[in-house]
Amino acid sequence: MPLVAVRWTTVLAAAFVAVFVTQVGTFTNTVGVAGPATQVIVMGDSLAAGCCGIPYDERWATIFAEETSNDLVNLGIGGTRSYGLVDQIFDWPSGRSQSQLDEALSLLAEATPGAVSVVTLGIGANDWLWLRDPDGTFCAFTSTPACDDLVAQAVAGIEVNLHIALTELTAALEPDTHLLVMTYYDIWNQDSTSAMNNIILSEIAEHGAIHVDVPKFLSGHESEFISDDTVHPSTEGQRLLANIFVNAIPPDSDHDGLADVVEAQLGSDPDMADTDGDGLEDGLEILVYGSDVFDPDTDGDGCSDGAETSDNASQGGLRDPLNPWDFYDVAGFGGGPPDGVVDLANDLLGVIQHYSPTGAAPYDVRFDRGPSSGPNPWNMSAPDGVIDLPNDFLGIVLQFNHRCW
């Protein structure tokens, strides 16, 4: 669909499931923020506005403003869609009645020079997330020809509306004001999320905005960072989202998701995405896994942090880089140091030889593992004082021939 010079008005409104606005125009200057009297303007949907029982001071926008020493002006509106961003009228604490985009433009126009340091925007998911086809099929979960058409039209609408918003925002911003635009982690439908994100990335590139790569850090970790509603970040996810936005503020010379100023504080190399060469970028180590950017094997179990966070279990993956017990390589040839492979001669036979369901001799703590502490049977925990069938025998058999070099 070609871009047009007028604001998009959707023809699909009747097809959307009603979504209640949980918060309209939170407009708060955060109290007690250190630093200059500058502002961050946060725009978007419920991810920006905050919702779902997360206290105000634990929402990512509040944390982001505090960590960047800004006052917070949160224009986010729960449930809003891209056409609502540019066309839907709301009453604002300023006394104006206008769209979220127009309120942001008004605030920028009346701000003193240098007063607004950052504008953030996250919009698009609600355009397709709640669509149903004429038969009532929920399009986020089921693909039908009618649903495919509705989603395609919704994504086209996102393109038009986001183009309008970014065109008007970039024209209104001062040169030193950062415009941060996020892409979304997978929500319910990977194909629709990907189609939306491709549009967002294209508009970011066209308008010279800064990409906030949320899926790089959050996708694949939904169980850790997404709340029970399967859409919105949990308290832990809010903190992660805030840190992703903080580190998106340039420069990030090596594009690892850690801003240069943060790398300078840590002592990591701002020109090397993977300071310790373990196959895991510094940003993921710090923001997601909590592993050591200076130690390629944080937990010292013989598997590098990069190997442990990969999807290849037989090569040491699907493990926790902070758990020293989840790679059952106990000994090498002749009882020597671990040799990087869970094998028969040194490891499996060692467990058998030291079988001790009571903890008496021939118990050897080196061959002991506790119950699984993760989603996979080899995500074992610290020794529990016995070498038995459910934890030790089965645990080592299920990771037999797994290796890390």
Q: Which of 248, 281, 215, 216 is nearest to 68 (CA)?
A: 248
Residue 336 has a pLDDT of: 87
Residue 319 lies in a domain: no
Residue 149 lies in a domain: yes
**For the chain, percent of residues with pLDDT exceeding 90:** 87
Residue 19 identity: V
CA 181 to chain centre: 14
Stated length of the chain: 405
If asked whether residues 243 and 330 sit together in one domain, one would say no
Domain that holds residue 177: 13-250
Residue 37 has a pLDDT of: 75
Q: Nearest 5°: phi and psi at 43? A: -125, 150
Q: Which of 250, 149, 161, 144 is nearest to 199 (CA)?
A: 161
Of 270 and 13, the structure prediction assigns the larger pLDDT to 270
Select from 231, 250, 269 the last residue of a domain: 250
pTM as predicted:
0.88
Give yes or no for residue 20 having a pLDDT over 60: no
Residue 366 lies in a domain: yes
If asked whether residues 238 and 343 sit together in one domain, one would say no
Select from 207, 225, 250 the last residue of a domain: 250
Residue 48 has a pLDDT of: 96
**pLDDT level of residue 42 (50, 70, 90 thresholds):** very high
Give tens-digit pLDDT for 223-252: 999 999 999 999 999 999 999 999 999 999
Q: Picking from 6-15, 158-167, 301-310, which range would have the lowest pLDDT averaged per residue? A: 6-15
Give yes or no for residue 32 having a pLDDT over 80: no
Select from 250, 274, 296 the last residue of a domain: 250
What mean pLDDT comes out for the span 46-54?
93
Determine the Cα–Cα distance for residues 162 and 293; give it in Å rounded to an integer: 37
Residue 380 lies in a domain: yes
What mean pLDDT comes out for the span 265-280?
97
If asked whether residues 329 and 227 sit together in one domain, one would say no
What mean pLDDT comes out for the span 94-120?
97
Give tens-digit pLDDT for 118-176: 999 999 999 999 999 999 999 999 999 999 999 999 999 999 999 999 999 999 999 99
Domain CATH code at residue 179: 3.40.50.1110
Determine the Cα–Cα distance for residues 295 and 272; give it in Å rounded to an integer: 15
What mean pLDDT comes out for the span 372-390?
94
Residue 76 lies in a domain: yes
Residue 163 lies in a domain: yes
| Whether 366 contacts 330, CB under 8 Å | yes
Residue 27 has a pLDDT of: 31
Give me the chain's average pLDDT, please.
90
Residue 36 has a pLDDT of: 53
If asked whether residues 89 and 231 sit together in one domain, one would say yes
Q: Picking from 33-37, 44-48, 183-187, which range would have the lowest pLDDT averaged per residue? A: 33-37
**pLDDT level of residue 30 (50, 70, 90 thresholds):** very low
Give yes or no for residue 303 having a pLDDT over 90: yes
Give tens-digit pLDDT for 326-345: 999 999 888 889 999 999 99
Give tens-digit pLDDT for 195-206: 999 999 999 999
Give the total number of structural domains in the chain. Answer: 2
Residue 3 lies in a domain: no
Residue 278 lies in a domain: no
If asked whether residues 230 and 330 sit together in one domain, one would say no
